[in-house]
Structure 1
Amino acid sequence: MGIMSFLRERMGTILVVIIGVALFAFIAGEVITYGRSFMSGDRNTLGEVAGEKIAYEQYMDKVKQNTEMFMQQSGQSSITPQITDYVQENSWNQAVGQIILKKELEKLAIVVGTDETKSMVSGNNVSPQIAQYFTDQKTGQLNRQALNNFLSQMQSAKPNDPMIQQWNALVASLIEGKRSEKYFSLVSNGLYVNSLEAQDSYEAKNKLAKFTYVELPYSSLADNKVNITDNDYQAYYDEHKGQFKNTQELRSFEYVSFNASPSKEDTAAIKTQVEKLIPEFKASTNDSLFVQVNSEDKAPLAYQRKGQLEPQLDSVMFTAAPGFVYGPYVANGSYRIAKLVDSRVGPDSVSARHILISAATAGGIDKARANADSLKKLIEGGRPFAELAKNFSEDKQSGEKGGDLGTFGRGAMVPSFEEAAFNGKAGDLKIVESQFGVHLINVLSQKGSSKVVKVATVDKPLVASNKTQSGAYSKAQAFLGSVSKDNFGAEAKKQGFAVRNADDVTGTASALPGLDNARELVKWAFNKAEKGDLVDQVYTLGDQYVVAHLTKVKEEGTLSLADVKDQIKPEVLLQVKAKQLSSKLSSALNGASNIAQVAQKAGAKAVPVENIVFANPVIPGLSLEYKVIGTVFGMQPNKISKPIDGSHGVYVVSLNSFQNPPALTNTVREKQQLSQAITQQATGRLIEALKDKANVKDYRYKFL
């Protein structure tokens, strides 16, 4: 039970270690480059990294682990499509990262020796991931005896025991984490900042510039007064072509959705159903059974303190009398009614110990209860509880401490355990069942005193009726029958339906704007459709019926001008404006001997600024202006610049003076700061370089 308890209670953390430690910085990295090609005939290959295949089962196991970890840590019983997307991307990054890192470690022959491993697990340098499980809560120090006892249990466990297998996986992940740490240390230790770099950095942060500028803002030209030609688009595209590399295939489509969510009539009907239950609920003498029979959510009843109930109930149940029924009210997509079953004054926290008897080990729940009853009689006869807990409890972690569970508040234990611990009194011995087996509980003490209530809640989800669903579906089917790929938008407008766009959708997306459960539609777009195609059926996505039209396909590689024309239009517009404003400022520069004359001729103001540093290129009241500030720090005093295309407008500047900082006599601190910044950047850049070199190919859109 020590192994079971250890791994059961720490499973979320262990998964974090197993999944995360060996990957180091990869997990938090950007989404890995996607590939479009697919190996003919290989139906199990989800992707490739540097020629090594990622199997579908391997990836799905990782997704399952990460999903379970998220649900354990968040306490949620289900996850949204957005979280699904996040988990899948994380799992993919982990799979890719493991392969990339493994190849680098093997290439450099980086190993972790036996002595190093022993030091991490049981030596003088126990890994924090292990130490946290065996830390004495009172002293905050590692409990060596508990750790050694646990390791002894590991040695005697059977090799095929799943718990020992997971423990071995944990140790293996620590070893891989140590190898990763050595690898990244090799990189960071090879970085160096010299004195000249330190001097430049110091001056960039401390040298002050005082200058005057004249600006003609882009907003001074109305967008509709500026004519953009094809040559303007082509010039901008050619100049920035390197920015238009598409790392994965993207698809765009337009769609019309027909809402099948509950109507007012549906909502009223569900409310009526709930209202009809109120008289029977009030008269019920077995509220727990009533909830099980009539409620969608069949959560067990438990005492709760103020602040633990839903807001609507928290304000009324603590002043009501038992039997009071509140509602109907709406919460979490359901109509609900709630009944105050009982209220009492109870302890805020309890100290207790227990002996756990597993039904599986005992040969059934009845035998487990009989064993617990025998132990209870022995204790009542004078045998020490602590002795029996150490010898018989299958929760070895608490058993080694005489069964002591420490002090816990409400909500920390399973309902049946909590009921016994909080509703008894100090000294009580109670036997209860839970999903873990049979517990013999000894209540040691109870602290605090506050009012608690037991509330039974019956809920009915707000769902659409068949009439509502069939009506929405019929409209969608009729619309699909009336449109073609050539008249989708026009026909939708004619019939009064709003057309929505989903642009640059990835092959693994699960959600789209306005559509949370869009996976099937995305699969159609990537696996069945070509540009211009119309869906061949109405897609049911959650409470929406959808008709869609594939409008654009962006292949992997450098995108064409046609693909990015809409995307670059705002920047092209500014570039065209910049030409016009630069021409105006160039005319103002002719014959001008100072910045004030330039401003007067351009119909603008000469604005003085001071205390500007190169490291923070902001013009007060405007924006970041890298080109402008860069020009200033490259000028001679009393000179006037040529027009500069900035972020906010077109500028002309005149440097008044520089104020140099005190001489840097000791470069050590500056070197340290600069080195730290470079080291942080180096890790990310190294990862990106390894990704590019690995030639990652992603075929997930064909599977998920």
Structure 2
Amino acid sequence: MGVMEKMRNSTASILWILIFSFGVLWVLADTQVFDAMSVGPRNLGTVNGEEISLDEYNQRVSNYTDQFSQQSGRTMTPEMRAMYENQAWEDLVAARLIEQKINELGITVTDSELMEMVTGDNPAPFIREQFQQEDGTIDQIALRAAIESPENSEIWIMIEQQLRENRRQQKLNNFISSGMQVSSMDIRNEFIRANSFADIEYVRFPYSEISNDEITVTEDELRDYYENNSARFQRNETYQFRFVSWDKTPTAEDTTNTVQEIEDLRPAFEDAVNDSLFVLRYQSAVPYRGSFVSIDEIRDEYRPVVDLEEGEVSEVVMINGDPFVFKKIEQRGDEIKFAVLSYGVEADPIGTIDRLAEEAEEFQFYAESDGFEEEAERRELEVQQATATKDTPFIPGLGASEQTLRILENLRENRISDPIELDNVFIVAQMLEKTPEGTRPFEEVRSQVENAVRTQKRKELMASRVSERLQGNSDLESLASASDREVQSASDIRMNGSNISGAGRELRVIGAIFDMEVGETSNAIQGENAVFVVRVTNFDKADPSEMTSADESEIRNRLEQQKFTSFNEVFIERLREGADIKDNRSQILR
């Protein structure tokens, strides 16, 4: 009663406060301050301050998806679309970085260069493709008419811009290539490595013959190895999360609908004059081949076509859960030409997919307020846990999923994601813990450290034993006899090869072989999987004077390509490392 009395006595004051507040809000609304507060990023991202717009991103994604549809004729899965979306972003970032590097280097294309690319004796490929005559020359009259036509003015502006960018890119490639010249010595050495061979005899002592009981490892040794090899135990940011899922497996009703679809097309298929066009138009899962097939070679599942009359279409046949019908087009002796109409059974986009999406959205809504586990229990959904690692799309329990990884990167601890549509399921995830990148704790990698230390000690112990045995058995035969082993042989070991017949990949041993003389027996060589003692029985070393001009040209081109490819693999990454890249996709594309 006292509280109500105070409120009645304060009515006038409260009223004036409300009037003042509404006045302030009215003034602020006129200044559009709330619009400024509510608006998020105005672009998809920036690269060193240069914007990447949503329009160009959407255009690139659309180009990728259209190209996929035209080439495959299949419907794009959610995960595949996510992959193309990520590729579009990466490509746009790379394009900005390269453009900025070109500008930094001052690479330009003059108007005279551009004219040469359009009207010169050796025009750009695009011009040649459009205006080349049968004799290989350019139709200069048609080209000039196309250039001077007023309705083509905007098109030519776009063409010129593209030609300039292509030439600038070419100049950058030339600039990079100029710093990666292949010397005559490089070519000579590559010719020798590729054409030099050795024959050897050897005795092999596998590391696996030393048991764990023969090796002792102390705590200090483990700690020292961990400290000295910390680079081996780095990890990217990791995500511990839990999730519930809804299976998108087609229902019995979906199967029935697909079967009915095929059944409804049977009369039209039978009446079709152009079977190739019919199969293409109705997007059969089995493409039209149009060739005769021997009856004996027809797959068991397709055997119903054998008993048909020419032009007849079979009843619907289920093969691996999908409906098929077959049309016998023509029979020639014991050979048949036929066509197949089939659809893969997929979950209905409305009856099944939309219903599952709605269930996932409802779960996410109630889980936000009532708790993730509580809502899962109420709906009798199994809660699963998983771990994901940044830049590693494969997630145990879910498979490869770029979009799940991207969502996890932007999900705060204890927050619940929106529904995520994968190829086979919908999921809703809750972030449990984010672990930043860095060196993994010793206790977490202790078993790996111990295995590495044991392996190292096993190699050293075996090498020591073989060296001791060599002191009293200097030739290969006596060493083999004293060690109860056989002398093995391998021939035609290439200098730039990696494998020894009967011994596997052994780069270090091959390197040692070509530093020896014929008849020489090596000391103990620590290989990848065993200790080797080797004797060279023959060398067939290449003579550089026998290298032909064709050999030299092939080697030069190959080495230049290898250098250029290796450089390109790290070029963009180096540009990225020094760039200020802002990625607003998680806010713009929610």
TM range (shorter): 0.5 to 0.7
Task: Pick the aligned partner of 2:249 from 258, 261, 271.
Answer: 261
Aligned partner of 1:692 in structure 2 is: 574
Aligned partner of 2:276 in structure 1 is: none
**8 Å CA contact retained: 1:209, 1:659:** yes
Q: Distance in 1 between matches of 2:43 and 2:504?
A: 49
Residue 67 in structure 1 maps to residue 64 in structure 2: yes
Three-state SS of the structure 2 residue aligned to 1:682 is helix
Three-state SS of the structure 2 residue aligned to 1:60 is helix
Task: Pick the aligned partner of 1:113 from 110, 113, 116.
Answer: 110
Change over 3 Å in CA distance of 1:336–1:172 after alignment to 2: same
Q: Distance in 1 between matches of 2:471 and 2:346?
A: 75
**CA offsets 1:414-461 (integer angstroms, 9 cap, x no match):** xxxxxxxxxxxxxxxxxxxxxxxxxxxxxxxxxxxxx999x9999985
User: What is the one-letter code of the residue matched to 2:250?
Assistant: P
Q: Distance in 1 between matches of 2:241 and 2:213?
A: 28
CA apart distance, 1:175: 1.6
Three-state SS of the structure 2 residue aligned to 1:664 is helix
Three-state SS of the structure 1 residue aligned to 2:205 is strand
Q: Distance in 2 between matches of 1:473 and 1:682?
A: 54
Residue 526 in structure 1 maps to residue 423 in structure 2: no
Q: Distance in 1 between matches of 2:461 and 2:383?
A: 39
Change over 3 Å in CA distance of 1:43–1:256 after alignment to 2: same
**8 Å CA contact retained: 1:640, 1:653:** yes
Change over 3 Å in CA distance of 1:119–1:572 after alignment to 2: farther
Three-state SS of the structure 2 residue aligned to 1:211 is strand
Residue 598 in structure 1 maps to residue 479 in structure 2: yes
Residue 130 in structure 1 maps to residue 124 in structure 2: no
Aligned partner of 2:193 in structure 1 is: 204
Higher helix share: 2
**8 Å CA contact retained: 2:244, 2:384:** yes
Task: Pick the aligned partner of 1:624 from 480, 492, 505.
Answer: 505
CA apart distance, 1:628: 0.9
Q: Distance in 1 between matches of 2:103 and 2:471?
A: 66
Aligned partner of 1:43 in structure 2 is: 41
Change over 3 Å in CA distance of 1:206–1:641 after alignment to 2: same
Task: Pick the aligned partner of 1:652 from 516, 525, 533.
Answer: 533
User: What is the CA RMSD across the aligned residues, in angstroms?
Assistant: 5.7
Task: Pick the aligned partner of 1:175 from 164, 167, 172.
Answer: 164
Residue 147 in structure 1 maps to residue 31 in structure 2: no
Choose 138-147 or 587-596, whichever is displaced more: 138-147
Aligned partner of 2:290 in structure 1 is: 307
CA apart distance, 1:131: 2.0
CA apart distance, 1:132: 1.9
Identity of matched residues, %: 20
**CA offsets 1:543-582 (integer angstroms, 9 cap, x no match):** 5354657687564566666777788888667545434533
**8 Å CA contact retained: 2:79, 2:423:** no
Change over 3 Å in CA distance of 1:170–1:245 after alignment to 2: farther
Three-state SS of the structure 1 residue aligned to 2:472 is coil
TM-score after normalising by structure 2 = 0.65
Q: Distance in 1 between matches of 2:136 and 2:242?
A: 59
**CA offsets 1:483-540 (integer angstroms, 9 cap, x no match):** 979xx9xx9xxx9989685643539x5x85675895664455222244xx69588866
Q: Distance in 1 between matches of 2:426 and 2:283?
A: 37
How many residue pairs match? The answer is 514
User: What is the one-letter code of the residue matched to 2:206?
Assistant: P
Q: Distance in 2 between matches of 1:251 and 1:499?
A: 14
**8 Å CA contact retained: 1:255, 1:546:** yes
Residue 104 in structure 1 maps to residue 73 in structure 2: no
**8 Å CA contact retained: 1:105, 1:183:** yes
Change over 3 Å in CA distance of 1:467–1:181 after alignment to 2: closer
Q: Distance in 1 between matches of 2:199 and 2:220?
A: 39
Q: Distance in 2 between matches of 1:196 and 1:271?
A: 67
Q: Within 5 Å, which residues of 2 pair with 1:425-504?
A: 462-463=347-348, 503-504=388-389
Q: Within 5 Å, which residues of 2 pair with 1:76-475?
A: 76=73, 78-135=75-132, 142-153=138-149, 155-157=150-152, 159=154, 164=155, 167-220=156-209, 241-242=230-231, 249=237, 251=239, 257=245, 259-263=247-251, 265-266=252-253, 270=257, 307=290, 326-329=314-317, 462-463=347-348
User: What is the one-letter code of the residue matched to 2:469?
Assistant: A
Q: Distance in 1 between matches of 2:306 and 2:139?
A: 45
**8 Å CA contact retained: 1:535, 1:547:** yes
Task: Pick the aligned partner of 2:425 from 526, 538, 544.
Answer: 544
Q: Distance in 1 between matches of 2:259 and 2:346?
A: 13
**8 Å CA contact retained: 1:336, 1:459:** no
